Chains A and B, each alone.
Chain A
Protein backbone atom coordinates (compact mmCIF):
# COMPACT_ATOMS: atom_id res chain seq x y z
CA UNK A 1 0.00 0.00 0.00
CA UNK A 2 2.69 2.46 1.01
CA UNK A 3 4.62 1.69 -2.20
CA UNK A 4 1.63 2.93 -4.19
CA UNK A 5 1.49 6.14 -2.21
CA UNK A 6 5.19 6.96 -2.21
CA UNK A 7 5.37 7.65 -5.94
CA UNK A 8 2.51 10.15 -6.24
CA UNK A 9 3.44 11.80 -2.95
CA UNK A 10 7.06 12.20 -4.03
CA UNK A 11 6.04 13.71 -7.39
CA UNK A 12 3.57 16.01 -5.67
CA UNK A 13 6.17 16.96 -3.09
CA UNK A 14 8.80 17.80 -5.70
CA UNK A 15 6.30 19.79 -7.74
CA UNK A 16 5.14 21.67 -4.64
CA UNK A 17 8.71 22.43 -3.57
CA UNK A 18 9.56 23.78 -7.02
CA UNK A 19 6.33 25.80 -7.10
CA UNK A 20 7.27 27.32 -3.74
CA UNK A 21 10.70 28.24 -5.05
CA UNK A 22 9.14 29.85 -8.13
CA UNK A 23 6.56 31.73 -6.06
CA UNK A 24 9.27 32.95 -3.68
CA UNK A 25 11.53 34.06 -6.51
CA UNK A 26 8.60 35.73 -8.21
CA UNK A 27 8.02 37.90 -5.13
CA UNK A 28 11.66 38.89 -5.00
CA UNK A 29 12.41 39.23 -8.71
CA UNK A 30 9.11 40.69 -9.78
CA UNK A 31 9.21 43.41 -7.16
CA UNK A 32 9.80 46.67 -8.95
CA UNK A 33 8.60 48.83 -6.08
CA UNK A 34 6.20 51.73 -6.51
CA UNK A 35 6.37 53.32 -9.95
CA UNK A 36 4.77 56.34 -11.53
CA UNK A 37 2.75 56.29 -14.73
CA UNK A 38 2.34 59.73 -16.29
CA UNK A 39 -0.65 59.95 -18.60
CA UNK A 40 -1.04 62.55 -21.37
CA UNK A 41 1.92 64.70 -20.41
CA UNK A 42 1.17 64.85 -16.71
CA UNK A 43 -2.61 65.39 -16.81
CA UNK A 44 -2.84 62.39 -14.58
CA UNK A 45 -0.21 60.62 -12.53
CA UNK A 46 -0.65 57.20 -11.03
CA UNK A 47 1.46 55.52 -8.39
CA UNK A 48 1.35 51.82 -9.09
CA UNK A 49 3.01 48.60 -8.07
CA UNK A 50 5.30 47.42 -10.86
CA UNK A 51 5.66 43.93 -12.29
CA UNK A 52 2.29 43.49 -14.00
CA UNK A 53 1.19 44.22 -17.55
CA UNK A 54 0.22 47.83 -18.24
CA UNK A 55 -3.36 46.81 -19.10
CA UNK A 56 -4.13 45.22 -15.73
CA UNK A 57 -2.14 47.86 -13.86
CA UNK A 58 -4.30 50.60 -15.41
CA UNK A 59 -7.49 48.59 -14.82
CA UNK A 60 -6.61 48.31 -11.13
CA UNK A 61 -6.49 52.11 -11.10
CA UNK A 62 -9.90 52.37 -12.73
CA UNK A 63 -8.70 53.17 -16.26
CA UNK A 64 -10.07 50.66 -18.71
CA UNK A 65 -8.27 50.44 -22.02
CA UNK A 66 -10.58 48.51 -24.37
CA UNK A 67 -9.73 44.82 -24.55
CA UNK A 68 -11.80 41.98 -25.94
CA UNK A 69 -9.60 39.07 -24.92
CA UNK A 70 -8.89 40.18 -21.38
CA UNK A 71 -5.14 40.63 -21.83
CA UNK A 72 -4.04 37.44 -23.55
CA UNK A 73 -2.68 39.21 -26.59
CA UNK A 74 -5.20 37.72 -28.99
CA UNK A 75 -7.45 40.67 -29.92
CA UNK A 76 -5.08 43.59 -30.45
CA UNK A 77 -7.61 46.08 -29.09
CA UNK A 78 -5.65 47.51 -26.15
CA UNK A 79 -3.47 49.82 -28.21
CA UNK A 80 -1.91 52.76 -26.42
CA UNK A 81 1.02 55.05 -26.99
CA UNK A 82 4.02 54.43 -24.72
CA UNK A 83 6.50 57.31 -24.90
CA UNK A 84 9.09 55.84 -22.51
CA UNK A 85 11.55 53.35 -23.94
CA UNK A 86 10.30 49.89 -23.06
CA UNK A 87 12.33 48.02 -25.65
CA UNK A 88 11.44 46.90 -29.16
CA UNK A 89 8.02 45.60 -30.13
CA UNK A 90 7.50 41.99 -29.08
CA UNK A 91 6.66 39.22 -31.54
CA UNK A 92 3.31 39.02 -29.73
CA UNK A 93 2.55 42.63 -30.64
CA UNK A 94 3.73 42.99 -34.23
CA UNK A 95 0.84 41.08 -35.87
CA UNK A 96 -1.62 43.68 -34.55
CA UNK A 97 0.30 46.87 -35.34
CA UNK A 98 0.85 48.64 -38.65
CA UNK A 99 4.31 50.02 -39.47
CA UNK A 100 2.99 53.56 -38.88
CA UNK A 101 1.68 52.60 -35.46
CA UNK A 102 5.00 51.03 -34.56
CA UNK A 103 6.81 54.17 -35.63
CA UNK A 104 4.53 56.19 -33.32
CA UNK A 105 5.36 53.93 -30.33
CA UNK A 106 1.92 52.38 -30.22
CA UNK A 107 2.02 49.23 -28.07
CA UNK A 108 -0.41 46.62 -26.83
CA UNK A 109 -1.03 47.48 -23.19
CA UNK A 110 -1.40 43.81 -22.27
CA UNK A 111 2.11 42.98 -23.52
CA UNK A 112 4.01 45.86 -21.96
CA UNK A 113 5.13 45.05 -18.45
CA UNK A 114 5.41 47.94 -16.01
CA UNK A 115 9.04 47.77 -14.89
CA UNK A 116 9.92 51.43 -14.60
CA UNK A 117 8.30 54.86 -14.60
CA UNK A 118 6.24 55.21 -17.76
CA UNK A 119 5.00 58.08 -19.85
CA UNK A 120 1.92 57.08 -21.83
CA UNK A 121 -0.83 58.64 -23.92
CA UNK A 122 -4.45 57.59 -23.78
CA UNK A 123 -7.54 59.01 -25.52
CA UNK A 124 -9.38 61.39 -23.17
CA UNK A 125 -12.64 59.43 -23.49
CA UNK A 126 -11.08 56.53 -21.64
CA UNK A 127 -11.24 58.47 -18.39
CA UNK A 128 -15.02 58.17 -18.53
CA UNK A 129 -14.70 54.43 -18.86
CA UNK A 130 -15.59 52.48 -15.74
CA UNK A 131 -16.54 49.00 -14.74
CA UNK A 132 -20.22 48.73 -13.82
CA UNK A 133 -21.85 46.07 -11.71
CA UNK A 134 -25.27 45.35 -13.17
CA UNK A 135 -28.28 43.09 -12.87
CA UNK A 136 -30.25 41.71 -15.79
CA UNK A 137 -33.62 43.37 -15.48
CA UNK A 138 -35.30 42.03 -18.61
CA UNK A 139 -34.54 39.78 -21.57
CA UNK A 140 -36.92 40.00 -24.51
CA UNK A 141 -36.91 38.12 -27.83
CA UNK A 142 -36.98 40.62 -30.69
CA UNK A 143 -36.63 37.96 -33.38
CA UNK A 144 -35.78 34.26 -33.31
CA UNK A 145 -32.07 35.14 -33.01
CA UNK A 146 -31.92 38.64 -31.52
CA UNK A 147 -32.49 39.37 -27.85
CA UNK A 148 -32.98 42.74 -26.20
CA UNK A 149 -31.19 42.64 -22.84
CA UNK A 150 -31.81 45.38 -20.30
CA UNK A 151 -29.25 45.78 -17.51
CA UNK A 152 -29.94 47.84 -14.38
CA UNK A 153 -26.69 49.43 -13.20
CA UNK A 154 -25.95 49.27 -9.51
CA UNK A 155 -24.56 52.40 -7.90
CA UNK A 156 -23.41 55.25 -10.09
CA UNK A 157 -24.98 55.77 -13.51
CA UNK A 158 -23.24 55.80 -16.87
CA UNK A 159 -22.42 58.95 -18.82
CA UNK A 160 -22.18 58.30 -22.56
CA UNK A 161 -22.88 59.68 -26.01
CA UNK A 162 -25.52 57.90 -28.07
CA UNK A 163 -23.79 55.56 -30.54
CA UNK A 164 -21.05 54.45 -28.15
CA UNK A 165 -20.50 50.83 -27.21
CA UNK A 166 -19.84 48.94 -24.00
CA UNK A 167 -18.06 45.67 -23.25
CA UNK A 168 -19.95 42.84 -21.64
CA UNK A 169 -17.80 40.70 -19.36
CA UNK A 170 -18.62 37.06 -20.01
CA UNK A 171 -17.63 34.84 -17.07
CA UNK A 172 -16.17 31.36 -17.64
CA UNK A 173 -18.98 28.89 -18.45
CA UNK A 174 -19.31 25.36 -19.86
CA UNK A 175 -16.18 24.75 -21.90
CA UNK A 176 -15.08 28.38 -21.98
CA UNK A 177 -12.29 28.43 -19.40
CA UNK A 178 -11.55 32.13 -19.18
CA UNK A 179 -13.48 35.34 -18.87
CA UNK A 180 -13.78 37.27 -22.14
CA UNK A 181 -15.20 40.66 -23.05
CA UNK A 182 -17.25 41.49 -26.12
CA UNK A 183 -18.30 44.88 -27.39
CA UNK A 184 -21.96 45.78 -28.04
CA UNK A 185 -23.47 49.12 -29.03
CA UNK A 186 -25.80 50.50 -26.42
CA UNK A 187 -29.40 50.92 -27.58
CA UNK A 188 -30.47 52.72 -24.41
CA UNK A 189 -30.58 56.50 -24.06
CA UNK A 190 -28.20 58.72 -22.10
CA UNK A 191 -31.25 60.27 -20.38
CA UNK A 192 -31.62 57.04 -18.41
CA UNK A 193 -28.12 56.63 -16.96
CA UNK A 194 -29.09 53.74 -14.68
CA UNK A 195 -29.96 51.34 -17.46
CA UNK A 196 -27.99 49.90 -20.35
CA UNK A 197 -29.79 48.06 -23.11
CA UNK A 198 -28.03 45.82 -25.65
CA UNK A 199 -29.33 44.02 -28.73
CA UNK A 200 -27.52 40.71 -29.09
CA UNK A 201 -27.83 38.43 -32.08
CA UNK A 202 -26.94 34.78 -31.62
CA UNK A 203 -23.78 33.98 -33.58
CA UNK A 204 -23.42 30.19 -33.93
CA UNK A 205 -20.37 29.20 -31.93
CA UNK A 206 -19.94 32.72 -30.51
CA UNK A 207 -18.71 32.70 -26.92
CA UNK A 208 -20.52 35.79 -25.69
CA UNK A 209 -23.67 35.52 -27.78
CA UNK A 210 -24.14 31.86 -26.82
CA UNK A 211 -23.72 32.86 -23.19
CA UNK A 212 -26.34 35.58 -23.48
CA UNK A 213 -28.81 33.44 -25.42
CA UNK A 214 -28.45 30.14 -23.59
CA UNK A 215 -27.24 30.95 -20.08
CA UNK A 216 -28.05 34.50 -19.01
CA UNK A 217 -31.33 34.83 -17.10
CA UNK A 218 -33.30 37.72 -15.68
CA UNK A 219 -31.99 38.58 -12.21
CA UNK A 220 -28.43 37.44 -12.98
CA UNK A 221 -25.63 39.80 -12.18
CA UNK A 222 -23.24 40.96 -14.87
CA UNK A 223 -20.34 43.32 -15.40
CA UNK A 224 -20.06 45.98 -18.08
CA UNK A 225 -17.02 48.07 -19.00
CA UNK A 226 -17.46 51.26 -21.00
CA UNK A 227 -18.37 53.46 -22.71
CA UNK A 228 -16.08 53.30 -25.73
CA UNK A 229 -16.14 54.47 -29.32
CA UNK A 230 -16.68 57.61 -31.36
CA UNK A 231 -19.66 56.53 -33.44
CA UNK A 232 -22.04 59.42 -32.98
CA UNK A 233 -23.86 62.24 -34.73
CA UNK A 234 -21.62 64.92 -36.27
CA UNK A 235 -22.57 68.54 -35.67
CA UNK A 236 -23.24 69.64 -39.25
CA UNK A 237 -26.40 70.52 -41.18
CA UNK A 238 -25.91 67.57 -43.56
CA UNK A 239 -28.68 65.02 -44.02
CA UNK A 240 -28.09 61.77 -42.13
CA UNK A 241 -28.28 58.53 -44.09
CA UNK A 242 -28.39 55.78 -41.45
CA UNK A 243 -28.21 52.18 -42.61
CA UNK A 244 -28.43 49.14 -40.36
CA UNK A 245 -29.13 45.45 -40.48
CA UNK A 246 -29.95 43.01 -37.68
CA UNK A 247 -28.54 43.97 -34.30
CA UNK A 248 -26.94 46.98 -36.02
CA UNK A 249 -30.21 48.63 -34.97
CA UNK A 250 -28.77 49.25 -31.49
CA UNK A 251 -26.78 52.49 -31.85
CA UNK A 252 -29.50 54.06 -34.05
CA UNK A 253 -32.20 53.32 -31.50
CA UNK A 254 -30.12 55.25 -28.96
CA UNK A 255 -29.22 58.07 -31.37
CA UNK A 256 -32.72 58.55 -32.77
CA UNK A 257 -34.63 58.59 -29.49
CA UNK A 258 -31.97 60.82 -27.97
CA UNK A 259 -32.27 63.33 -30.82
CA UNK A 260 -36.05 63.26 -30.66
CA UNK A 261 -36.03 63.68 -26.88
CA UNK A 262 -33.54 66.53 -26.75
CA UNK A 263 -34.21 68.18 -30.10
CA UNK A 264 -30.48 68.07 -30.78
CA UNK A 265 -29.15 69.15 -34.20
CA UNK A 266 -32.50 70.67 -35.27
CA UNK A 267 -31.34 71.30 -38.85
CA UNK A 268 -30.61 67.67 -39.61
CA UNK A 269 -32.93 65.53 -41.70
CA UNK A 270 -32.69 61.87 -40.79
CA UNK A 271 -33.25 58.91 -43.09
CA UNK A 272 -33.05 55.49 -41.49
CA UNK A 273 -32.79 52.44 -43.74
CA UNK A 274 -33.22 49.14 -41.93
CA UNK A 275 -32.70 45.92 -43.88
CA UNK A 276 -33.79 42.37 -43.09
CA UNK A 277 -34.44 39.21 -45.06
CA UNK A 278 -38.01 38.36 -44.08
CA UNK A 279 -40.56 39.64 -41.57
CA UNK A 280 -39.16 37.09 -39.14
CA UNK A 281 -35.95 39.16 -39.03
CA UNK A 282 -37.74 42.49 -38.66
CA UNK A 283 -38.28 44.17 -35.31
CA UNK A 284 -39.20 47.56 -33.70
CA UNK A 285 -41.30 48.18 -36.81
CA UNK A 286 -44.28 49.65 -34.96
CA UNK A 287 -42.16 51.81 -32.65
CA UNK A 288 -40.13 53.32 -35.47
CA UNK A 289 -43.15 53.92 -37.68
CA UNK A 290 -44.79 55.74 -34.79
CA UNK A 291 -41.64 57.77 -34.25
CA UNK A 292 -41.51 58.81 -37.89
CA UNK A 293 -45.20 59.74 -37.84
CA UNK A 294 -44.74 62.06 -34.85
CA UNK A 295 -41.37 63.54 -35.83
CA UNK A 296 -41.40 65.21 -39.24
CA UNK A 297 -37.67 65.29 -39.98
CA UNK A 298 -37.28 61.55 -39.39
CA UNK A 299 -37.97 59.13 -42.24
CA UNK A 300 -37.96 55.40 -41.65
CA UNK A 301 -37.41 53.02 -44.58
CA UNK A 302 -37.60 49.35 -43.63
CA UNK A 303 -36.81 46.93 -46.45
CA UNK A 304 -37.01 43.16 -46.88
CA UNK A 305 -34.70 41.43 -49.30
CA UNK A 306 -36.63 38.16 -49.53
CA UNK A 307 -40.27 38.77 -48.53
CA UNK A 308 -42.54 35.77 -49.08
CA UNK A 309 -45.81 36.57 -50.88
CA UNK A 310 -47.88 35.35 -47.91
CA UNK A 311 -46.22 37.81 -45.52
CA UNK A 312 -48.19 40.75 -46.87
CA UNK A 313 -45.16 43.08 -46.71
CA UNK A 314 -46.06 46.74 -47.27
CA UNK A 315 -42.60 48.36 -47.29
CA UNK A 316 -39.70 48.42 -49.69
CA UNK A 317 -38.26 45.25 -51.12
CA UNK A 318 -34.77 44.47 -52.36
CA UNK A 319 -31.29 44.54 -50.93
CA UNK A 320 -30.81 47.46 -48.54
CA UNK A 321 -28.00 48.77 -50.75
CA UNK A 322 -30.30 48.92 -53.79
CA UNK A 323 -33.02 50.64 -51.76
CA UNK A 324 -30.45 53.12 -50.43
CA UNK A 325 -29.15 53.79 -53.93
CA UNK A 326 -32.66 54.40 -55.27
CA UNK A 327 -33.59 56.78 -52.44
CA UNK A 328 -30.39 58.80 -52.73
CA UNK A 329 -30.92 59.25 -56.44
CA UNK A 330 -34.69 59.78 -56.51
CA UNK A 331 -36.21 60.63 -53.16
CA UNK A 332 -33.90 62.59 -50.89
CA UNK A 333 -33.16 66.28 -51.28
CA UNK A 334 -29.39 66.44 -51.83
CA UNK A 335 -28.69 70.14 -51.45
CA UNK A 336 -27.53 70.03 -47.78
CA UNK A 337 -25.09 67.23 -48.47
CA UNK A 338 -25.07 63.76 -46.97
CA UNK A 339 -23.45 61.96 -44.07
CA UNK A 340 -23.43 58.17 -43.90
CA UNK A 341 -23.87 56.32 -40.60
CA UNK A 342 -23.58 52.54 -40.84
CA UNK A 343 -23.87 49.66 -38.43
CA UNK A 344 -24.01 46.00 -39.34
CA UNK A 345 -21.91 43.19 -40.71
CA UNK A 346 -18.62 44.06 -42.45
CA UNK A 347 -20.14 42.85 -45.73
CA UNK A 348 -23.11 45.19 -45.43
CA UNK A 349 -20.91 48.11 -44.42
CA UNK A 350 -18.54 47.62 -47.35
CA UNK A 351 -21.45 47.39 -49.79
CA UNK A 352 -23.08 50.54 -48.37
CA UNK A 353 -19.82 52.49 -48.45
CA UNK A 354 -19.50 51.56 -52.12
CA UNK A 355 -23.05 52.75 -52.89
CA UNK A 356 -22.52 56.01 -51.00
CA UNK A 357 -19.23 56.72 -52.70
CA UNK A 358 -20.80 56.01 -56.07
CA UNK A 359 -23.33 58.73 -55.22
CA UNK A 360 -20.61 61.23 -54.40
CA UNK A 361 -20.45 60.93 -50.61
CA UNK A 362 -16.82 61.20 -49.54
CA UNK A 363 -15.22 58.57 -47.35
CA UNK A 364 -14.59 61.25 -44.70
CA UNK A 365 -18.33 61.67 -44.30
CA UNK A 366 -19.14 57.99 -43.77
CA UNK A 367 -18.98 56.74 -40.18
CA UNK A 368 -19.22 53.20 -38.85
CA UNK A 369 -18.19 50.75 -36.18
CA UNK A 370 -17.34 47.50 -37.85
CA UNK A 371 -18.05 44.51 -35.64
CA UNK A 372 -16.81 41.29 -37.17
Chain B
Protein backbone atom coordinates (compact mmCIF):
# COMPACT_ATOMS: atom_id res chain seq x y z
CA UNK B 1 0.00 0.00 0.00
CA UNK B 2 1.52 3.36 -0.94
CA UNK B 3 1.97 6.27 1.41
CA UNK B 4 -1.25 8.30 1.35
CA UNK B 5 -1.08 12.09 1.44
CA UNK B 6 -1.67 13.58 4.87
CA UNK B 7 -5.03 15.23 4.36
CA UNK B 8 -7.96 14.96 6.71
CA UNK B 9 -10.77 13.23 4.73
CA UNK B 10 -13.22 15.89 5.89
CA UNK B 11 -10.97 18.64 4.54
CA UNK B 12 -10.60 16.69 1.33
CA UNK B 13 -14.38 16.43 1.06
CA UNK B 14 -14.92 20.17 1.27
CA UNK B 15 -11.86 20.94 -0.83
CA UNK B 16 -13.16 18.83 -3.67
CA UNK B 17 -16.46 20.69 -3.54
CA UNK B 18 -15.01 24.19 -3.52
CA UNK B 19 -11.30 24.72 -4.17
CA UNK B 20 -10.80 21.93 -6.69
CA UNK B 21 -14.27 21.51 -8.06
CA UNK B 22 -14.04 18.72 -10.61
CA UNK B 23 -16.14 20.66 -13.06
CA UNK B 24 -15.02 24.21 -12.66
CA UNK B 25 -11.33 23.63 -12.07
CA UNK B 26 -10.76 20.46 -14.09
CA UNK B 27 -13.55 20.90 -16.64
CA UNK B 28 -14.67 17.29 -16.49
CA UNK B 29 -18.23 16.22 -17.24
CA UNK B 30 -19.11 19.35 -19.17
CA UNK B 31 -21.27 17.78 -21.87
CA UNK B 32 -24.11 16.65 -19.64
CA UNK B 33 -23.46 19.77 -17.54
CA UNK B 34 -24.33 22.00 -20.48
CA UNK B 35 -27.10 19.80 -21.86
CA UNK B 36 -29.06 19.18 -18.66
CA UNK B 37 -28.60 22.52 -16.88
CA UNK B 38 -31.47 23.92 -18.97
CA UNK B 39 -33.86 22.43 -16.47
CA UNK B 40 -33.64 22.87 -12.69
CA UNK B 41 -35.42 19.64 -11.73
CA UNK B 42 -33.43 17.40 -14.05
CA UNK B 43 -30.22 19.07 -12.86
CA UNK B 44 -31.09 18.17 -9.30
CA UNK B 45 -31.73 14.52 -10.15
CA UNK B 46 -28.68 14.18 -12.34
CA UNK B 47 -26.46 15.85 -9.71
CA UNK B 48 -27.70 13.43 -7.10
CA UNK B 49 -27.09 10.44 -9.36
CA UNK B 50 -23.60 11.64 -10.34
CA UNK B 51 -22.72 12.11 -6.66
CA UNK B 52 -23.81 8.58 -5.82
CA UNK B 53 -21.99 7.09 -8.80
CA UNK B 54 -18.70 8.92 -8.20
CA UNK B 55 -18.74 8.07 -4.48
CA UNK B 56 -19.44 4.38 -5.06
CA UNK B 57 -17.05 4.12 -7.99
CA UNK B 58 -14.23 5.71 -5.99
CA UNK B 59 -14.65 3.15 -3.23
CA UNK B 60 -15.01 0.11 -5.49
CA UNK B 61 -12.23 1.22 -7.83
CA UNK B 62 -9.97 1.71 -4.82
CA UNK B 63 -10.55 -1.90 -3.81
CA UNK B 64 -10.03 -3.16 -7.35
CA UNK B 65 -6.88 -1.05 -7.71
CA UNK B 66 -5.15 -2.23 -4.57
CA UNK B 67 -6.46 -5.78 -4.46
CA UNK B 68 -6.29 -6.73 -8.14
CA UNK B 69 -4.58 -4.26 -10.43
CA UNK B 70 -1.43 -3.52 -8.42
CA UNK B 71 -0.80 -7.08 -7.11
CA UNK B 72 -1.15 -8.43 -10.66
CA UNK B 73 0.91 -5.55 -12.13
CA UNK B 74 -1.65 -4.74 -14.77
CA UNK B 75 -1.66 -0.97 -14.24
CA UNK B 76 -1.63 -0.55 -18.03
CA UNK B 77 -5.18 -1.94 -18.06
CA UNK B 78 -6.50 0.25 -15.26
CA UNK B 79 -8.46 2.54 -17.62
CA UNK B 80 -10.35 -0.40 -19.11
CA UNK B 81 -11.02 -1.93 -15.70
CA UNK B 82 -12.23 1.35 -14.22
CA UNK B 83 -14.64 1.85 -17.08
CA UNK B 84 -16.05 -1.65 -16.58
CA UNK B 85 -16.47 -0.91 -12.87
CA UNK B 86 -18.23 2.39 -13.59
CA UNK B 87 -20.61 0.76 -16.06
CA UNK B 88 -21.46 -1.97 -13.55
CA UNK B 89 -22.03 0.50 -10.72
CA UNK B 90 -24.37 2.56 -12.89
CA UNK B 91 -26.26 -0.57 -13.88
CA UNK B 92 -26.66 -1.67 -10.26
CA UNK B 93 -27.67 1.81 -9.16
CA UNK B 94 -30.28 1.92 -11.92
CA UNK B 95 -31.79 -1.35 -10.74
CA UNK B 96 -31.80 -0.30 -7.09
CA UNK B 97 -33.42 3.07 -7.80
CA UNK B 98 -35.96 1.47 -10.11
CA UNK B 99 -36.96 -0.88 -7.31
CA UNK B 100 -36.96 1.40 -4.32
CA UNK B 101 -37.75 4.85 -5.66
CA UNK B 102 -39.79 4.67 -8.87
CA UNK B 103 -40.43 8.41 -8.76
CA UNK B 104 -36.71 9.22 -8.65
CA UNK B 105 -36.17 6.63 -11.37
CA UNK B 106 -38.72 8.36 -13.57
CA UNK B 107 -37.26 11.81 -12.98
CA UNK B 108 -33.73 10.60 -13.76
CA UNK B 109 -35.02 8.76 -16.82
CA UNK B 110 -32.40 8.37 -19.49
CA UNK B 111 -29.77 10.41 -17.62
CA UNK B 112 -28.85 7.55 -15.35
CA UNK B 113 -27.32 5.24 -17.97
CA UNK B 114 -25.62 8.26 -19.54
CA UNK B 115 -23.54 8.77 -16.40
CA UNK B 116 -21.48 5.79 -17.54
CA UNK B 117 -19.86 8.06 -20.10
CA UNK B 118 -19.62 11.11 -17.84
CA UNK B 119 -15.90 11.83 -17.78
CA UNK B 120 -16.09 13.37 -14.30
CA UNK B 121 -16.57 9.85 -12.94
CA UNK B 122 -13.52 8.37 -14.65
CA UNK B 123 -11.61 11.56 -13.89
CA UNK B 124 -12.28 11.30 -10.16
CA UNK B 125 -11.28 7.64 -10.14
CA UNK B 126 -8.01 8.39 -11.93
CA UNK B 127 -7.21 11.28 -9.55
CA UNK B 128 -7.80 8.83 -6.74
CA UNK B 129 -5.19 6.55 -8.29
CA UNK B 130 -2.63 9.22 -9.13
CA UNK B 131 -2.83 10.99 -5.78
CA UNK B 132 -2.63 7.69 -3.91
CA UNK B 133 -5.58 8.37 -1.61
CA UNK B 134 -6.43 5.93 1.17
CA UNK B 135 -9.82 4.23 1.13
CA UNK B 136 -11.44 6.77 3.43
CA UNK B 137 -9.86 9.64 1.53
CA UNK B 138 -11.07 8.13 -1.75
CA UNK B 139 -14.63 7.91 -0.51
CA UNK B 140 -14.50 11.48 0.82
CA UNK B 141 -12.94 12.67 -2.42
CA UNK B 142 -15.48 10.76 -4.51
CA UNK B 143 -18.56 12.05 -2.74
CA UNK B 144 -16.98 15.53 -2.54
CA UNK B 145 -16.30 15.61 -6.26
CA UNK B 146 -19.83 14.47 -6.95
CA UNK B 147 -21.27 17.07 -4.61
CA UNK B 148 -19.09 19.69 -6.29
CA UNK B 149 -20.43 18.68 -9.67
CA UNK B 150 -23.95 18.75 -8.24
CA UNK B 151 -23.41 22.23 -6.77
CA UNK B 152 -22.00 23.50 -10.07
CA UNK B 153 -24.90 22.21 -12.17
CA UNK B 154 -27.47 23.62 -9.73
CA UNK B 155 -25.76 27.01 -9.83
CA UNK B 156 -25.62 26.97 -13.60
CA UNK B 157 -29.26 25.89 -13.86
CA UNK B 158 -30.21 28.81 -11.61
CA UNK B 159 -28.17 31.28 -13.65
CA UNK B 160 -29.60 30.00 -16.91
CA UNK B 161 -33.10 30.39 -15.50
CA UNK B 162 -32.20 33.93 -14.47
CA UNK B 163 -30.86 34.94 -17.90
CA UNK B 164 -33.58 33.13 -19.84
CA UNK B 165 -35.37 36.35 -20.76
CA UNK B 166 -32.34 38.61 -20.95
CA UNK B 167 -31.48 40.19 -24.30
CA UNK B 168 -28.62 37.90 -25.30
CA UNK B 169 -27.15 38.59 -28.78
CA UNK B 170 -28.67 36.12 -31.25
CA UNK B 171 -25.36 34.39 -32.02
CA UNK B 172 -24.72 33.67 -28.36
CA UNK B 173 -28.11 32.26 -27.45
CA UNK B 174 -28.13 28.79 -25.88
CA UNK B 175 -24.77 27.07 -25.65
CA UNK B 176 -22.72 30.20 -26.42
CA UNK B 177 -23.87 32.22 -23.43
CA UNK B 178 -23.77 29.06 -21.29
CA UNK B 179 -20.09 28.53 -22.04
CA UNK B 180 -19.34 32.16 -21.18
CA UNK B 181 -21.29 31.73 -17.96
CA UNK B 182 -19.29 28.63 -17.09
CA UNK B 183 -16.13 30.65 -17.66
CA UNK B 184 -17.27 33.28 -15.18
CA UNK B 185 -18.23 30.61 -12.70
CA UNK B 186 -14.81 28.97 -13.02
CA UNK B 187 -13.13 32.35 -12.40
CA UNK B 188 -15.30 32.87 -9.35
CA UNK B 189 -14.31 29.45 -8.04
CA UNK B 190 -10.63 30.36 -8.46
CA UNK B 191 -11.29 32.67 -5.54
CA UNK B 192 -11.49 29.60 -3.32
CA UNK B 193 -8.12 28.23 -4.40
CA UNK B 194 -5.29 28.64 -1.96
CA UNK B 195 -7.64 28.13 0.96
CA UNK B 196 -6.93 24.41 1.00
CA UNK B 197 -4.54 22.57 -1.30
CA UNK B 198 -5.36 19.00 -2.19
CA UNK B 199 -2.96 18.23 -4.98
Contact = CB atoms under 8 A, between A and B. Distances in A.
B179 interface: no
A87 B104 CA distance: 11
A9 to B, nearest CB: 9
A264 interface: no
A14 B109 contact: no
Interface of A is mostly: helix
A14 B99 contact: no
B5 interface: no
B122 interface: no
A10 interface: yes
Interface string A10-28: 1100110011011001100
Contact of A21 (B74, B88, B99): B88
Interface string B65-92: 0001100111011001100110010011
A14 B72 CA distance: 13
A10 B92 contact: no
A11 to B, nearest CB: 6
7 contacts: A10-B69, A11-B80, A14-B64, A19-B88, A29-B98, A30-B95, A113-B98
Interface of A: 3, 6-7, 10-11, 14-15, 18-19, 21-22, 25-26, 29-30, 87-88, 90-92, 113, 115
A88 B103 CA distance: 9
Nearest to B76: A7
Interface string B154-194: 00000000000000000000000000000000000000000
What are the 5 A-B residue pairs with the smallest beta carbon separation, nearest first? A18-B88, A29-B99, A7-B74, A29-B95, A87-B106
**What bracket does the count of chain B residues touching chain A fall in?**
20 to 34
B103 A10 contact: no
A26 B99 CA distance: 10
A6 B92 contact: no
Contacts of A113: 98
A88 B88 contact: no
Given A14-B64, A18-B84, A115 B102 contact: yes
A22 B92 contact: yes
B110 interface: yes
A108 B136 CA distance: 46
A90 B72 CA distance: 45
Interface in B110-133: 110
Contacts of B85: 14, 18
B96 interface: yes
Interface of B: 64, 68-69, 72-74, 76-77, 80-81, 84-85, 88, 91-92, 95-96, 98-99, 102-103, 106, 109-110
Given A21-B88, A87-B103, A90-B106, 12 more contacts: A10-B68, A10-B81, A11-B84, A14-B68, A14-B81, A18-B84, A22-B88, A29-B95, A87-B102, A87-B106, A91-B110, A113-B98
A91 B96 CA distance: 20
B68 A6 contact: no
B41 to A, nearest CB: 12
B30 to A, nearest CB: 22
A14 B68 CA distance: 9
Contact of B72 (A6, A21, A88): A6
Given A87-B102, A88-B106, A10 B88 contact: no
Contacts of A11: 74, 77, 80-81, 84
Contact of B74 (A10, A25, A26): A10
A90 B109 CA distance: 7
B121 to A, nearest CB: 15
B91 A22 contact: yes
Nearest to B99: A29
Contacts of B103: 87
A11 B79 CA distance: 11
Given A10-B74, A18-B85, A90-B106, A25 B92 contact: yes
Contacts of B96: 25, 29
A10 B110 contact: no
Contacts of A90: 106, 109
Nearest to B91: A22
A26 B96 CA distance: 9
Contacts of B76: 7
A22 B89 CA distance: 9
B120 to A, nearest CB: 21
Contacts of B98: 29, 113
B92 A21 contact: yes
A305 to B, nearest CB: 47
Contacts of A19: 88
Contact of A10 (B77, B91, B102, B109): B77
B81 A30 contact: no
A134 B95 CA distance: 39
